[in-house]
Amino acid sequence: MKVRCDLHIHSCLSPCGDLEMSPNAIAQEAKKRGLDVIALTDHNTALNTPAFMTACNKAGIFGIYGIEITSSEEAHVLALFKKPETAVEMGKLVYKSLLSGKNDPEKWGDQVYLDDDENIIGEVEKYLTGGASIYSISELLEMTLKRDGIFIPAHIDKPQFSIKSQLGFLPDEEYSAIGLTKLPPIMELKGKPFITNSDAHYLHNIGDRSFTLDIEDLSFSHIKEAIVRGKITIN
Amino acid sequence: MKTDELEKNLGLVPAYNDYEINNIVTGFTSDLLSDVMGNADEDSVLITIQAHKNTIACCSLAGITAVIICSGRKVPQDMIDAAKDEGIAIFTTKDNQFTTSFKVHGIL
């Protein structure tokens, strides 16, 4: 079966994410736009993934629970998991390791997380995009794979917070796939599969970039396997 | 100047012993490794706080033979292993990049 995926979406928990980006609104909008699989990937925390799971179930769309982590190299990488609990646990380690100051909501935006009924249940104190984690790309990769997750360097061709901008070369690691914004790739990908995601911060951007996976069955393990094996068509 | 003279003259702490001794001609200070890749000279010492193994890959590609990790940041083992493989010396110092650069410039 073929499924259309967007595995890089921000919610209202990211300071740069629009307040309208509640887990529920994201799931509904993604469904409307014909996506089958979506991942929530807020910056350096996964505290909105439990509500995102309920929202995806309600909308009848397959949810993946992730984090967009700022590595010590200041490159953004995606760690994606089967269960919100795993994402939250990994997110707590990452958040604790963030070399970042306190968020100023007036300056940088709110960082709120919600319950299933869209009530605000908390606000994150550290500025989520204001500093890097102490963990390097290879350490984050190891932490993700240890938890049976999917590890994807995000938008490696962007002019900031990407492997290209921070390192200038692609370290040879066991990435599940490589995230791109444009085709053809501007770097040598060493035979790794690649995908494109929207990196949506606003509802109207969900699915702007996406990819189609050819999978045996709609489950996390089959999605992971299809990504790693490169059964991908860029939309 | 030789790598071991740099260590002794500036009171640097080596991250591992028996490092390869090279001739250090100049220095380059940056925490953005793509900048290092693009602009550093060969046979330089890199002054940075980027303590991870990708720094070594970058030094290797740029022809840098020694790294000073500033502000007392810890050097992880995989960075040390990569540096040994590539023949790149790693030192640490409590000074920040500004002070370290000033000191390095003063003795080169």
Whole-number average pLDDT of chain B: 96
**Cβ contacts of B51 on chain A, cutoff 8 Å:** 72
Residues A161, A166, A170: CA angle, nearest 5 degrees = 105
Closest among A51, A70, A71, A48 to A59, alpha carbons compared: A51
Are B58 and A169 a contacting pair at CB < 8 A? yes
Hey, which residues 41-100 in chain A have their CB within 8 Å of chain B? 72-73
Give Cα A210 distance to the centre of its chain.
13
Of B33, B51, B78, the CB nearest to A167: B33
CB A199 within 8 A of CB A10: yes
Whole-number average pLDDT of chain A: 96
Q: Is the ipTM of this complex over 0.90?
A: no
SS3 A183: coil
pLDDT of residue B102: 98
pLDDT of residue A182: 93
Mean pLDDT of A169-196: 94
How many CB contacts within 8 angstroms connect chain A with chain B?
42
| A185 cis-preceded (ω within 30 degrees of 0) | no
Tokens (6 digits) for A177: 């796939």
| Distance in Å, alpha carbon of B102 to nearest chain A alpha carbon | 24
pLDDT of residue A16: 86
Are B78 and A138 a contacting pair at CB < 8 A? yes
pLDDT of residue B24: 97
Chain A interface, mutation test: which of B37, B54, B81, most A Cβ atoms within 10 Å?
B54
Domains of chain A: 2-234 (3.20.20.140)
Residue A95 sits at φ, ψ, to 5 deg, of: -60, -45
Please indicate if any CB of chain A lies within 8 Å of the CB of B61.
Answer: yes
pLDDT, tens digit, 9 for 90 and up, residues A16-28: 888 899 999 999 9
Per-residue pLDDT in tens (0 to 9) along chain B, 108 residues:
999 999 999 999 999 999 999 999 999 999 999 899 889 999 999 999 999 999 999 999 899 999 999 999 999 999 999 999 999 999 999 999 999 999 999 999
Hey, which residues 134-163 in chain A have their CB within 8 Å of chain B? 136-139
Mean pLDDT of A43-69: 98
CA distance to A31, A105, B29, B106, per residue, from A63 (Å):
11, 28, 44, 57
SS3 B20: coil
Give Cα A178 distance to the centre of its chain.
12
CA neighbours within 13 Å on the CB side: how many for A61? 30
Residue A90 has pLDDT above 90, yes or no: yes
CATH of residue B60 = 3.40.1390.20
Grade residue A140 by pLDDT with cuts at 50, 70 and 90.
very high
CB B105 within 8 A of CB B6: no
Going by their DSSP bridges, the two strands A120-123 and A112-114 should be labelled as antiparallel
CB A48 within 8 A of CB A63: no
SS3 B3: helix
How many angstroms separate the CA atoms of A27 and B22, rounded? 58
Are B54 and A136 a contacting pair at CB < 8 A? yes
Are B34 and A168 a contacting pair at CB < 8 A? yes
Are B54 and A168 a contacting pair at CB < 8 A? no
Q: Which of the residue ranges A81-85, A182-186, A192-196, A197-201 would you say has the lowest mean pLDDT?
A: A182-186
Mean pLDDT of A49-60: 98
pLDDT, tens digit, 9 for 90 and up, residues A169-180: 999 999 999 999
Query: Mutual orientation of helices B97-107 and B3-10 as an angle, nearest 10°?
Result: 120
Tokens (6 digits) for B106: 């003063």
Are B76 and A171 a contacting pair at CB < 8 A? no
Q: Please name the residue of chain B whose CA is at the shortest distance from the CA of residue A171.
A: B54
Residue A153 has pLDDT above 90, yes or no: yes
Number of domains forming the structure of chain B: 1
Of B33, B52, B76, the CB nearest to A168: B33
Domain that holds residue B8: 3-106
Of A138, A166, A171, the CB nearest to B32: A166
Mean pLDDT of A71-95: 97
Of A73, A138, A139, the CB nearest to B33: A73
Q: What share of chain B is helix, strand, coil (3-state, %, to 5)?
A: 45, 20, 40
Residues 6 or more apart whose Cβ sits within 8 Å of residue B4: B21
pLDDT of residue A107: 87
Are B61 and A136 a contacting pair at CB < 8 A? no
pLDDT of residue B1: 96
How many angstroms separate the CA atoms of A15 and A151, rounded? 23
Q: Please name the residue of chain B whose CA is at the shortest distance from the CA of residue A163.
A: B34
Of A73, A168, A171, the CB nearest to B37: A168
| Distance in Å, alpha carbon of B32 to nearest chain A alpha carbon | 6
